[in-house]
Chains A and B, each alone.
Chain A
Amino acid sequence: MEPSILAQQAVNGLILGATYGLIAIGYTMVYGIIGMINFAHGEIYMVSAYLTAIFLAVLHFFGITSIPVVLIVVLVATLCITALHGWFVERIAYRPLRDSNRLAPLITAIGLSLILQNYVRLSQGARSQGVPTLLTGSFVIPAGSGVIQITHVQALIIVVAIASMAVLTFIMHRTSLGRACRATEQDRVMASLLGINTDYIISVVFVIGAAMAAIAGVLVSLNYGSFDFHIGFITGIKAFTAAVLGGIGSLPGAMLGGLILGLSESFFSGFVNTDYKDVFAFALLVLVLIFRPSGLLGQPLVTKV
């Protein structure tokens, strides 16, 4: 096996996995705090891709071309508006159904993802859209007889993914907000008795999840250059798979699940067969769950009588 090919496939897998991981965080946090799957999360990611292109176009219109400025402004603006979308999803699909049966919010979330998809399609048209190429050029690393190519955007994805994981871990473990989140996660009733506004905390979790999806949305749009209103679905399912693989409810688990999924897709596609890479990914998931029923890093469920 050519080492450069092997390494290149590993790089491909890591980059894909990092984006899965960023989106998976949204699933895993929401699940952790209210025990529900947020099926609209994939669409939140799709919305953020559109926002990226729109803000890029607006900045271009005002003649702002300095790449670092553009990147930061677009990232911040997309993050804010996407987070607002996350907040709205919680407000409409989850809060009214807080104390009803567990499946009702699942259905509203599916309904909401249809709404978001079609709202975007009706507003922006069904055509696939794109973002202009901001960063060109790549790092070329010689390996064996060939080379490994990592574009600057891909490098950026890795750096930003690591940085945002670090920030998120800091928030969850070192701030009072994070403590409140974890308390609500462990026992919502007890947390509210101790003076935590649990409704507010749940909203915050949705907002954080959406923000992570927004980061992924910006990076992915810059990397692949194009998107349409359908992308939320496939990526959403993959990210959800990643979250479960890593153990739903666990933050490092989401990242780990994403990376494993990305790597396995990349290697299977590269060395076996592209047709069956998704079959392999799902089969892997089923296998992992059979032997570790709560995912790789998940807390085993303890049933109390």
Chain B
Amino acid sequence: MNKMVQFGGVLISMLRLLSPPPAVAEEGIPIGVAGPFTGAYAAFGEQLWRGAEQAANDINAAGGINGKKIELFKGDDACEPKQALAVANQLVDRHGVRAVIGHFCSSSTIPASEVYAEAGILHITPASTNPMVTERGITTLFRTCGRDDQQGSTGANFIVNTLKANAIAVIHDKDTYGQGLADAMRTQLQRLGKKEVLYEGLTRGEKDFNALVTKFKSVNAEAVYFGGLHNEAGPLVRQMKEQGLKAPLVSGDGIVSEEFVIAAGGPAYAEGVYMTFGRDPRKIKEGQEVVDRLRKSGFEPEGYTLYSYATMQIVAAAIAATRGTDGAALAKWLHTHDVPTVMGSKGWDEKGDLKTSDYVMYRWNNKGSYEEVP
């Protein structure tokens, strides 16, 4: 028995000795950028990385944050929750990051955010729009994009009021993001006194949706709403056109990428597809210089690139103002201050959502790019 107590004492002293927080590099401020850099959604990961990298370079060139340089660490989650957790632990424990920008897919952001919250690290996602992300009471979590319920209602209002559609088919890709969007659409349709004629999920990674398209015909859908990403939206719209369906496809920000045009088989198929997205960040005047710089480096800052750039600016501003990297202090500062960014001034409510969101409707044209619906 005596030996047991002794052994316990040794264990406890070992516990104390061996679990200090990871050492922080003195020279720079390590910041993690997490997203799908491999896998089917790597295009979005690249947008996040390019934006954050450009912002870090610009800030470092201007002298860093309080004289310290930003060091970026890449964490690849491939949009899989299990990998997201591993990446989050790796960023926190091995690289000792002081703030994290990212995770693209909401299904990755949600589990990873728990790791960051537990480590007391500021976590800002530039792209995860699922309401659940900020609904779980994590105080150190923010986002610089809108929410799917806002996006869904913009979409629903457009379908009902502008397109004057009565029979609406709602389709999703059975993932957190897509299904969240579809559910938001359903709720708003109900509020507008409409009920969808079809609510079904297709399988990510498949290409043949002909059976579904024929089903649209059989229920006489006048508009089709799709919650999901471009990899599936492309073939879907192509098959709708091939079967001679007149109903327009409306979708969310998951198809904001030139890849959508390729996935659809050319501008001819993509033309006439509507989508909701924040006011085009490339057209905001504060960002013109950055847009030019990115374009010069051969990267078109579409989709979430500027969101990611702005997020890095926000992190830097908070660290500069609080003169520290404690997550709680940074969060407190962000809750009470507005930050000027390439996308204009941003402020947050108590949940960590943006105070103002500005979803507008875009339409893909016959040249393979999108323009705002007047």
Which A residues have a C-beta under 8 Å from some C-beta of B? 2, 5, 8-9, 12-13, 15-16, 121, 125-133, 138, 140, 146-147, 149, 151, 220, 224-228, 230-231, 233-234, 265-267, 269-270, 273-275, 277-278
Contacts and interface: CB of A to CB of B under 8 A. Distances in A.
Contacts of B8: none
B269 A274 contact: no
Interface of B: 38-40, 42-43, 174, 200-203, 205-208, 210-212, 214-215, 217-218, 230-231, 234-235, 238-239, 242-244, 259, 262-266, 268-269
A9 B211 contact: yes
A296 B174 CA distance: 33
Contact of B207 (A126, A132, A226): A226
B200 A12 contact: no
Contacts of B234: 128, 130, 225-226
B211 A12 contact: yes
Nearest to A234: B205
Q: Which 6 A-B pairs have the closest CB atoms?
A: A225-B265, A126-B42, A12-B210, A269-B211, A130-B262, A274-B200
Given A130-B264, A234-B206, A275-B200, 4 more contacts: A133-B268, A231-B207, A269-B212, A270-B215
Contact of A230 (B205, B244, B265): B205
Given A130-B265, A138-B242, A231-B207, A270 B214 contact: yes
Contacts of A224: 207-208, 235, 238-239, 265
Contacts of A12: 208, 210-211, 214
A9 B259 contact: no
B212 A274 contact: yes
Contacts of B42: 125-127
A235 to B, nearest CB: 8
A5 B218 contact: yes
Nearest to A273: B200
Chain A, interface SS category:
mixed
B245 to A, nearest CB: 10
A226 B243 CA distance: 17
Most-contacted residue by chain A among B201, B215, B244 (CB, 10 A): B215
Given A126-B40, A128-B231, A275 B201 contact: yes
B259 A233 contact: no
A55 to B, nearest CB: 17
B262 A226 contact: yes
Contact of A270 (B207, B211, B263): B211
A274 B218 CA distance: 14
A161 to B, nearest CB: 15
Contacts of B214: 5, 8-9, 12, 270
Contact of B211 (A13, A129, A146): A13
A5 B217 CA distance: 8
A275 B211 CA distance: 12
9 contacts: A5-B214, A16-B211, A126-B40, A130-B265, A130-B266, A132-B265, A147-B244, A226-B264, A269-B215
Contact of A225 (B40, B201, B205, B269): B269
A274 B211 contact: yes
Given A127-B259, A233-B205, A225 B200 contact: no
A154 B121 CA distance: 54
